[in-house]
Structure 1
Amino acid sequence: MNDGFGHEVPPRHAHQTHRQVTRYLVVIGSTNGAIARLFTADRSQVAEFDAGTEEVVELIKTASASTGASGAEWDKSLAGHTAAERASATVYELDL
């Protein structure tokens, strides 16, 4: 008889390294409307979704904002956007 008493015992948890904490939320215009993108501190994208969702409102409640993502640090991350879209983007630094 095992200690599961008829229920399968779950396997041991595999310890893996987690990704970095999300540090930036960029709301940027696109041909299909505004989109929100989440980035880590090294500007690696981890998520993309519609900027009109309630999650965006919750994330930016306490975040500090700046206008424009034209800096060299955003070149690789936002390469698919025009210079005008990047200049009008809003970058939020998240306090997570």
Structure 2
Amino acid sequence: MNNGFGMEAHGKQPANAHRKPARYLLLIDAGGSTIARLFTDTREAAGEFDAGSEEVAVMTQRLKPGSGATGHEWDRALEGHSAAERAAAVVYTLDI
């Protein structure tokens, strides 16, 4: 018996693939403010937020930063940034 109360249960969910996990955290200047950008292992953008947030400190504790994102592997991912911004960027490789 159904009196129209409650919510209908969801049907079977599609078996979509999950997004790739973020592999790199890049701290880079963007027009005068530092932002944190997340990238997958293939350098696809996975997120962007303020580098001053607490999450950055949590993600980077115990990690050693690399300096600069001037390599050709970053060309497409960072095409909107200047060469100076890319050279001054700090790159962290995240544990997955």
TM beyond 0.5: yes
Q: Which residue of 2 aligns with 1:60?
A: 60
Structure-2 separation of matches of 1:38 and 1:24: 6
Q: Structure 2: give runs of 5+ residues left out of the alignment.
A: none
Q: For residue 92 of structure 2, what is the aligned residue in structure 1?
A: 92
Which residue identity does 2:92 align to in structure 1? Y
1:25-40 equivalence runs, <5 A: 25-40=25-40
Q: How do 1:36-55 residues align onto structure 2 when only pairs under 5 Å count?
A: 36-55=36-55
Sequence identity of aligned pairs in percent? 48
Q: TM-score, normalised by structure 2?
A: 0.88
Q: Deviations over 1:1-25 (max 9, x none)?
A: 47xx955222222210112111000
Judge conservation of contact 1:64–1:94 (CA < 8 Å) in 2. Answer: no
Equivalences, count: 94
CA RMSD of aligned residues (A): 1.7
SS at match of 1:41: coil
TM-score between the two structures when normalised by the length of structure 1 = 0.88
Deviations 1:1-53 (A, max 9, x none): 47xx9552222222101121110000001214100000000000011111011
**Contact 1:62 / 1:95 at 8 angstroms: preserved in 2?**
no
Q: Which runs of 4+ in 1 moved over 6 A?
A: none
Q: Letter of the 1:10 partner, please give it.
A: H
Distance 1:6 1:71 in 2: 56
